[in-house]
Amino acid sequence: MGSHRRLAPTGFDRGTVAAVGLLSVAAAVLGAVPATASPHDDRRTEVDRLHTEAEQATEAYNKADARTEALRAEIDAAQDSIARQQARINTLRDGLGSLAGAQYRSGGVDPALALLLSADPDDYLDKASVLDRITTHQAGELRELEGAMRDLAQDRAEAGEKLTELEKSRKAVAAHKKTVERKLAEARRLLNSLPDDERAAYDRGSRSGRTGLAAGTDPAVPGDAAPASGRAAAAVAAARSALGKPYVWGANGPTGFDCSGLTQWSYAQAGIGLPRTSQAQSGAGQRVSLDQAQPGDLVAYRDDASHIGMYVGNGQVIHAPYPGAPVRYDPVGMMPVSSVTRV
């Protein structure tokens, strides 16, 4: 793990993290800002800020969208259960109606008179015994019906609450979507205001101010930097297969990805289900220090873990950076690291 210990081993050291953060802001994605800043530097910095805020809104959108999907599934299951319970109640009511009719017909004659008129007292006694059993059974059916109706009322109330929550979640999804679209539109406007050569250089540059490796380039993972498990190796292979695919906000593959969509999709190819958001993914395993990172570990960035990538060795992560930048390799220290998680 010697090579790992040369990678920003103080990834969780506050001083180093602060320094990395300052470098990320002070260095335009094209490289270090010269002593006399270009008039376009402010616009590039503003584009970075807008992309960061759009990514935070994207993760909020992903969270609301995942909750919406879960609520839809819960409501569908509740509605199926309610339909089954209603059918059972209808059956119980039909049965009770038949029993009540039989009791009325059998009990309409005074028992003493029925005994006097009976040609076969033994037969009368048998019928009376059956009537007693029917009455006991009917009481049990009534109790069962009452319980079923209580359960149905409770399930209907819970389904109503879920429907209310679903509507709130849908509104949250729509609000986050508008926020993302507004910030991305502003970022595009600023980028389009840059000269062509600077705009092209921005698209090639990484957030750390260093140029990311090309999609077809392998960072030559050292031999002692083996993945933590076979599934981690499969996830790394899946992430590599996505190199060059476009960043699409809210997407989790296979033709486009946002940051957490890429890591979720990659681990899904390895048979492991990850949560949808970068924040939830950062807590979906065992935390390790940056100098212990192994290929397949998830690296979350910023204090709010609003960006995430997959460590692949040799100081590199694969990630979906931002709109206009395809899935690619970048230095693990491109932004302040908030956590490293081994799935």
Q: Which residue has the higher pLDDT, 91 or 229?
A: 229
Verify that 241 and 327 share a domain, yes or no.
yes
Verify that 182 and 230 share a domain, yes or no.
no
pLDDT at 93 over 90: no
Given a contact cutoff of 8 angstroms between Cβ atoms, the answer to whether 299 and 309 are in contact is: yes
Verify that 173 and 228 share a domain, yes or no.
no
Give SS3 for 246.
coil
Mean pLDDT of the chain: 73
Look at residue 203 and tell me if it is in a domain. no
pLDDT at 24 over 60: no
Across 136-153, average pLDDT: 71
pTM of the model: 0.55
pLDDT at 116 over 50: no
Verify that 256 and 304 share a domain, yes or no.
yes
Q: Which residue has the higher pLDDT, 167 or 111?
A: 167
Q: Which listed residue (4, 51, 176, 319) is catalytic?
A: 319
pLDDT at 110 over 50: no
Q: 125, 156, 191: which is the final residue of a domain?
A: 191
Angstrom distance (rounded) from CA 83 to CA 175 = 34
Verify that 262 and 186 share a domain, yes or no.
no
Verify that 171 and 258 share a domain, yes or no.
no
Given a contact cutoff of 8 angstroms between Cβ atoms, the answer to whether 264 and 281 are in contact is: yes
Verify that 341 and 244 share a domain, yes or no.
yes
Q: Structure tokens of 282?
A: 């950062």
pLDDT at 20 over 50: no
Look at residue 200 and tell me if it is in a domain. no
Q: 176 catalytic, yes or no?
A: no
Q: 51 catalytic, yes or no?
A: no
Verify that 304 and 231 share a domain, yes or no.
yes
Q: 259 catalytic, yes or no?
A: yes
Give, in degrees to the nearest 5, the angle at Cα 245 between 312 and 243.
25
Verify that 116 and 181 share a domain, yes or no.
yes
Across 37-41, average pLDDT: 55
Look at residue 4 and tell me if it is in a domain. no
pLDDT at 132: 54
Verify that 167 and 237 share a domain, yes or no.
no
Domain that holds residue 114: 74-191
Q: 191, 207, 241: which is the final residue of a domain?
A: 191
- Count Cβ neighbours within 10 Å for each residue of 207-220 and write b for 16 or more, e otherwise: bbbeebbeeeeeee
The number of folded domains in the chain is 2
pLDDT at 107: 53
pLDDT at 11: 36
**How many CB atoms lie under 10 A from the CB of residue 148?**
17
pLDDT at 37 over 70: no
Look at residue 12 and tell me if it is in a domain. no
Q: Which residue has the higher pLDDT, 63 or 212?
A: 63
pLDDT at 83 over 90: no
Given a contact cutoff of 8 angstroms between Cβ atoms, the answer to whether 299 and 342 are in contact is: no
Give SS3 for 330.
strand
